[in-house]
Amino acid sequence: MPLTFQHQQLANGLDVIAEANADAHSIAIGMFVNTGSRDEEPAINGVSHFLEHMMFKGSEKYTWQDVNRIFDEMGARYNAFTSQEMTAYYANVLPEFTQRATEHLAHLLRPAIRQEDFDTEKKVILEEIAMYLDDPGHRVYEQAMAEHFGEHPLSQSVLGAAQRIRELTRQQMQEYFARRYGPGNMAVVATGRVDFPAFVELVERYCGRWPRVDAPRRYPQPAYAPRRKSLSDPKLNRHYIMGFTPGPSAQDERRFAARVLSDVIGDSEGSRFYWALVDKAIAEDADFGFYPHDRCGSYYLSLTTDPDRAHEAMQIALSELEKVKSDLNDDEVERAKNKIASSIVLQGEIPLGRMRAIGGQWLYNREYRSLEQDMATLRAITPQSLRDLMREFPFEPMTIVELGPGKA
Amino acid sequence: MSERYFQHSYSNGLTLLGEKMPGMQSAAMTLLVPAGAASDPPEASGAGAVLSDLLFRGAGPRDSRQLTDYLDSLGLQRSSNVGVHHMRFSCAAVADKVVEALGAYADVVRRPHLPEDGFRAARELALAALAGLEDEPRQKVMVLLRERHFPWPLGRNTMGRKQELENLTLECCRAHFGRMFQPRGTILAVAGNIDFARLRDEVERHFGDWTGQEPAALELRPPPGRFHHEQHASEQTHIGLAYPSIEETHPDYYAMRLAVEALGGGMSARLFTEIREKRALVYNVWAGYSSLKGYGSIMGYAGTSNDRAQATLDTFIVELHRLAEGIAADELERARIGLKASTIMQGESTSARAGAIAHDFFMRGRIRTLDEIKNAIDAVSLDQVNDYLRRNRPGEMTIVTVGPTPLRMGG
């Protein structure tokens, strides 16, 4: 059965999009807001993510107990996430709960942000920050983003620093919410068993009176440079390295080629990094991947090694990046394409997977891409596409941050 | 069996299971070989972990690179890992590619090369993973919890032990392979866009003449002391708890699952409400049912700031005991709809179903259909749940903490 896409914009500017799959057993509904850590003034860094938590604490009508109870009464699989560029709230429910889930998500998006809940939840945010400090992979990632992007807003961490969070006030959060959350800066997405006309009517009923917001985003030019930073923490056993370098943006047509290239270089199986580093146990993890952002993009490399082999592993990784520019072969490109095609098929079978893909695509591009389109674009990628891409984005300058037990 | 489900036992002891899922393009395979970490040789903890890597470094007619390239060319999303009872091989892709891959998987489990240089690298990687575990207190606490909660060898760290990995030889791995990789008790499950007749023939072709003896049964020993603190200068204290529960095949199984859902299911469940929402003691807290053959357990975790860790542990234990007093009707109904919805949505994932039917066959000797599960969940009454809870108060708890300061663990 083909998946069918429809879009309608409500009178208040709210975009409603849906991809219907008659074979699905459930519906996934998401509210995607075009806001994240990059849109925060430094003094309120962490507010988008803290706000995401506060959305679950009740609206004018509901307390946090009501919010949780109502989701669970639907047997919903629900959650939210905040990134540098978007915040999304979603529920995956059986089709008979479509109306309730839509109504409930709409309540979420009009939070009360009560002082008592704000003060309590602040402690949970601080626990989350502490949890990630016990995760060396995450630490090196945050440091590498900060170092790579420098003065650019993408350098800001999603969680924010503990001290900033302690100082954040409810008024600051409410102002941020009022500025960034509303039609014109968000989309409502449904995938799976969707009856589109009925769904539009629901969204109109529950969200139709929300006022439009005009929430611009700054796009300063990133100033990339080959920066280096070495951090040490004596209690660590392994050495963690992360590198960032410019790549295509979320709007760039070459982002599909970038995905294929990343697979060739750094997939967990059968990639350049796998054979050069993991197969030989020079590194236990060696990844290369692609993060598209809004109007800019990054490739990343990530290595985990024995502290004594970190330097060697890094040299090998960099030399593999140099080699692939000239000795890329047809077979490895074909294999990468086959793996990605598979993952496109698998993702298409799960409503939540499609919801995330479609919501993200809409926020970045105001565009829908069907699975067939993605497959066709993938098929059209050739080794020459990847060579052209590497000429345009030659993996430099690269910022490298390391975290290990040794002296800095 | 119905048109949707398929089961075939081969004379060599291998079982093939199939679930046809309409509307899917993909298929997923789960292959369980009874060679889990519990079966690692007594002085060679980690032999399975090394073997699970080494098996793919050349098998049948293909060397390491040829095998990887072949599986990649089929587009297989794949993984292999060592569990307690089994070594598990999973893959998913467009359906006919998964069926095509069966020959290569047969090579891996029947005719691996197990090369010397590959062995050295695989052992290095296993040692590296163990060393990396020291940097992940959240993972480490659950590893230590299992070691202290389950009888030996069921609680053994599936990643192995450092000293024993350092002493591990290729001969030992080869002998382990020879002993453990055989068809008796091996389960091959495929779900998705499949044709049973074709599947049965392919499996017959690749696995039909596989032979082997069932290995000796495990001898169990009681675990070490049930309270343990591991010193670690972490930002949070990581707490793991476990207590014994009923087996999967017990008549109270669904009543138990509903009770545990009311404890630790959604955000309105007890643990999230009392420990996170009300007291803000944690970001991450959960509890769930954990199943080994012959042993069911309730296991839980909480990560909490060091200065509040005692309060978190105390509250967690109070909640585990309070559950035994019984749950209310509205809690049961939320648990019921939550479990039913998860069950139904499992039917959207070929990987989830392949794993589920394989697990069911191992634990229960048969496939449970999604309808059977939904009906069983619907059939449980409030009285049954509360009666189960009254008769199954938390017994002796195993408690492990990882953090800078030990906690009082009485309770």
| Residue-level pLDDT at A408 | 47
CB A271 within 8 A of CB A335: no
CATH superfamily of B227-403: Metalloenzyme, LuxS/M16 peptidase-like (3.30.830.10)
Interchain proximity A342–B93, CB inside 8 Å = yes
Q: Please state, for a pLDDT cut of 90, what percent of chain A lies above it.
A: 98
d(CA B136, CA A138): 11
Interface size between A and B, measured as CB pairs under 8 A = 197
A267 and A338 assigned to the same domain: yes
User: Using a CB-CB distance cutoff of 8 angstroms, which residues of chain B are in contact with residue A334?
Assistant: 73
| Residue-level pLDDT at A127 | 96
* A75-94 confidence digits (pLDDT tens): 999 999 999 999 999 999 99
Question: Fold match between B5-207 and B227-403?
Answer: yes
| Residue-level pLDDT at B77 | 97
Residue in chain A closest to B65 (alpha carbons) equals A270
Interchain proximity B94–A304, CB inside 8 Å = no
Tell me what ipTM this predicted complex has. Answer: 0.95
| Residue-level pLDDT at A41 | 96
Residue A37 lies in a domain: yes
Range of A51's domain? Answer: 4-207
Number of domains observed in the structure of chain A = 2
**Largest alpha-carbon pair distance within chain A?**
63
**Which residues of chain B fall short of a pLDDT of 50?**
1
A270 at the B interface (CB within 8 A)?
yes
| Residue-level pLDDT at A1 | 61
Residue A215 lies in a domain: no
CATH class of segment(s) B5-207: alpha beta
Residue A180 lies in a domain: yes
| Residue-level pLDDT at B22 | 87
Facing residue for A281 by CB, picked from B121, B233, B347: B121
φ and ψ of A157, to 5 deg = -75, 155
> What's the CATH code of the domain at A110?
3.30.830.10
pLDDT at residue A263 greater than cutoff 70: yes
* A286-314 confidence digits (pLDDT tens): 999 999 999 999 999 999 999 999 999 99
pLDDT band at A268 (very low <50, low <70, confident <90, very high): very high
Interchain proximity B277–A338, CB inside 8 Å = no
Residue A219 lies in a domain: no
* A196-227 confidence digits (pLDDT tens): 999 999 999 999 999 999 999 999 999 999 99
| Residue-level pLDDT at B216 | 87
Q: Which residue has tokens 């398929």?
A: B6
User: Using a CB-CB distance cutoff of 8 angstroms, which residues of chain B are in contact with residue A73?
Assistant: 333-334, 337
Q: State the pTM of this model.
A: 0.96
pLDDT at residue A153 greater than cutoff 50: yes
Residue A214 lies in a domain: no
Q: Which residue has tokens 């953090």?
A: B403
Residue A90 lies in a domain: yes
Tell me what the mean pLDDT of segment A139-148 comes to: 98
